């Protein structure tokens, strides 16, 4: 006959799909009853009544308990936490820290924060962000993405996120896709409605994304910034002063000049520039495989050289990404090319850049960030 200890041990292997911790640890197991015929009745607390993951929790609990020796059938009943239980859960997840505190700005934070910036729109900054995030997650790191481009949010589509955040008290549980946790203003707006906000509202939204979202123990957080050096770029410097700037440009000289201007904000905000990524660096001819410089050449090197002189420290070119139709298709379909076609020219280039940022590869002007993953491989 199955024992309660054996059933609880099995339930400890079931993680809440949003919080990513065992349901036993989160106090979500209300009761376990076992009858002489081996029928196990498990009652599980949901954080909220409209929990979008109720079916997933039911299925995972059923599968885990059914594997226990002596169990003939599993009956799962769902209940809802009381207000007091939700408050206790939120306090436990925060680890006793105050609300509205940005965990990534604390001195002891082990999370590497990259603010992905560009001088102008249309250079593929969001495509670079989501593919770097997906590549790092596939490499075993715990990764999150903040879609900080409030007016031009596009990250949920590019990562294939169709879920909506769940709120537990004043804490927001972000949905995830391809192993990447994501938050975006697009998850809170109806349809394709525009966001018409002034500066203070943008700052509050970014603060909420950073402080009120339960990110857990991330290895890397990427912020997809809007183009230019406006309100959001300034707010990032205030809220996460340790964020490092990653500049994205195209080879075109006009784009490079604007990108250099965007990166130069680091002088005023006292932030580090981790490097430059040149996107749309060339297109392989479909007939002869010769590279065609559709947008010119040398833009990435120009930006890196200019920023090196401006900040007084070496700013490397982390990589050049060729024009690849699969990169665009992956963005439209919510399947990053680093996962759907990792050996494509764009996929290889992006995975190489992700490896440099995560410390997986060495030899880039001696740079070794050495991010140690929190989870086991």
Residues 249-272 have a mean pLDDT of 86
Name the binding residues for ATP.
119-126
User: Which tokens go with 215?
Assistant: 């990110």
Q: Which long-range contacts (CB under 8 A, 24 or more apart) does 27-34 make?
A: 27/85, 27/88, 27/89, 28/81, 30/79, 32/4, 32/7, 32/8, 34/1, 34/2, 34/3, 34/4, 34/7
| 6 pLDDT above the threshold of 50 | yes
pLDDT at position 256, please? 84
Q: Do 53 and 202 belong to one domain?
A: no
Report residue 365's pLDDT band, with 50, 70 and 90 as the boundaries.
Answer: very low
Name the binding residues.
119-126
pLDDT at position 137, please? 96
Residues paired with residue 338 on neighbouring β-strands, in sequence order: none
Residues 310-332 have a mean pLDDT of 92
pLDDT at position 245, please? 94
Q: Do 75 and 111 belong to one domain?
A: no
| 195 pLDDT above the threshold of 90 | no
| 291 pLDDT above the threshold of 80 | no
Q: Do 202 and 63 belong to one domain?
A: no
| 149 pLDDT above the threshold of 80 | yes
For residue 371, being part of any structural domain is answered with: no
Q: Do 178 and 46 belong to one domain?
A: no
For residue 364, being part of any structural domain is answered with: no
Question: Dihedral, CA atoms, 160, 163, 168, 170, nearest 10 degrees?
Answer: 60
pLDDT at position 303, please? 92
Separation between Cα atoms, residue 57 and residue 60, nearest integer Å: 5
Residues 285-304 have a mean pLDDT of 81
Residues 48-72 have a mean pLDDT of 90
| 150 pLDDT above the threshold of 50 | yes
**Domain end residue (candidates: 81, 115, 142):** 81
Q: Do 71 and 131 belong to one domain?
A: no
pLDDT at position 53, please? 84
In the predicted model, what is the mean pLDDT of the chain?
A: 87
Separation between Cα atoms, residue 258 and residue 260, nearest integer Å: 5
Q: Is 270 exposed, middle or buried (0-12, 13-18, 19+ CB in 10 A)?
A: exposed
For residue 8, being part of any structural domain is answered with: yes
Q: Do 182 and 330 belong to one domain?
A: yes
Separation between Cα atoms, residue 210 and residue 101, nearest integer Å: 8
Q: Do 149 and 221 belong to one domain?
A: yes
Q: What is the CATH number of the domain that holds 300?
A: 3.40.50.300
pLDDT at position 100, please? 66
State the pTM of this model.
0.78
For residue 77, being part of any structural domain is answered with: yes
Residues 6 or more apart whose CB falls under 8 angstroms from that of 48 comprise 80, 81, 86, 166, 167, 168
Q: Do 109 and 194 belong to one domain?
A: yes
Separation between Cα atoms, residue 167 and residue 69, nearest integer Å: 37
pLDDT in tens, 229-256: 788 988 998 899 999 999 999 998 878 8
Report residue 341's pLDDT band, with 50, 70 and 90 as the boundaries.
Answer: very high
Cβ atoms of 250 and 299 within 8 Å: the answer is yes
For residue 370, being part of any structural domain is answered with: no
Q: Do 117 and 261 belong to one domain?
A: yes
Q: Do 17 and 116 belong to one domain?
A: no
Report residue 108's pLDDT band, with 50, 70 and 90 as the boundaries.
Answer: confident
Q: Do 205 and 143 belong to one domain?
A: yes
Residues 341-346 have a mean pLDDT of 93
pLDDT at position 375, please? 45
Separation between Cα atoms, residue 172 and residue 192, nearest integer Å: 22
Q: How far is CA 367 from CA 275, 301, 361, 371, in A?
A: 10, 17, 9, 12
For residue 95, being part of any structural domain is answered with: no
pLDDT in tens, 161-191: 987 888 887 788 999 999 999 999 988 888 7
Domain extent for 325: 104-358
pLDDT at position 70, please? 92
Report residue 215's pLDDT band, with 50, 70 and 90 as the boundaries.
Answer: very high
pLDDT at position 290, please? 77
Percent of the chain with pLDDT over 70: 94
For residue 96, being part of any structural domain is answered with: no
For residue 232, being part of any structural domain is answered with: yes
- Which range among 147-151, 208-212, 262-266 shows the weakest confidence by mean pLDDT? 262-266
Neighbours of 17 (CB within 10 A): 18
Residues 199-220 have a mean pLDDT of 90
| 120 pLDDT above the threshold of 90 | no
pLDDT at position 347, please? 95
Q: Do 32 and 142 belong to one domain?
A: no
pLDDT at position 157, please? 93
Total number of domains in the chain: 2
Report residue 376's pLDDT band, with 50, 70 and 90 as the boundaries.
Answer: very low
């Amino acid at each position: 006959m199955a024992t309660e200890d054996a059933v609880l041990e099995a339930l400890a292997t079931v993680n809440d799909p949003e919080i990513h911790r065992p349901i036993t640890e989160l106090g979500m197991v209300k009761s376990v009853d076992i009858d002489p015929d081996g029928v196990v009745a498990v009652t599980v607390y949901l954080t909220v009544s409209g929990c979008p993951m109720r079916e997933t929790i039911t299925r995972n609990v059923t599968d885990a308990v059914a594997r226990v020796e002596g169990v003939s059938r599993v009956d799962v009943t769902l209940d809802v936490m009381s207000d007091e239980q939700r408050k206790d859960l939120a306090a436990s997840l925060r680890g006793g820290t105050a609300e509205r505190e940005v965990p990534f700005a604390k001195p002891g934070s082990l999370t590497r924060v990259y603010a992905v910036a560009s001088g102008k729109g249309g250079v593929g900054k969001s495509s670079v962000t989501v593919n770097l995030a997906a590549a790092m997650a596939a490499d075993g790191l715990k990764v999150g993405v903040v879609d900080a481009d409030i007016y031009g949010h596009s990250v949920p589509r590019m990562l294939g996120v169709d879920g909506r955040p769940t709120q537990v008290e004043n804490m927001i549980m972000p949905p995830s896709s391809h192993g990447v946790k994501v938050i975006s203003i697009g998850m809170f707006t109806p349809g394709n409605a525009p966001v018409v906000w002034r500066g203070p509202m943008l700052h509050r939204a970014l603060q909420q994304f950073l402080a009120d979202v339960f990110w857990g123990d991330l290895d890397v957080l990427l912020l997809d910034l809007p183009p230019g050096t406006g309100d959001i770029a300034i707010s990032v410097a205030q809220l996460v002063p340790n964020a490092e700037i990653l500049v994205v440009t195209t080879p075109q000289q006009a784009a490079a000049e604007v990108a250099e201007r965007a990166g130069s904000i680091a002088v005023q905000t006292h932030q580090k520039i981790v490097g430059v990524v040149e996107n749309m660096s060339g297109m392989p001819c479909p007939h002869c495989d010769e590279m065609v410089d559709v947008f010119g050449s040398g833009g990435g090197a120009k930006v890196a050289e200019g920023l090196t002189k401006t900040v007084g420290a070496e700013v490397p070119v982390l990589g050049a990404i060729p024009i690849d139709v699969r990169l665009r298709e992956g963005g439209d379909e919510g399947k990053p090319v680093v996962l759907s076609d990792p050996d494509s020219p764009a996929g290889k280039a992006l995975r190489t850049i992700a490896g440099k940022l995560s410390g997986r590869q060495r030899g880039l002007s001696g740079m070794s960030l050495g991010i140690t993953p929190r989870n086991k491989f």
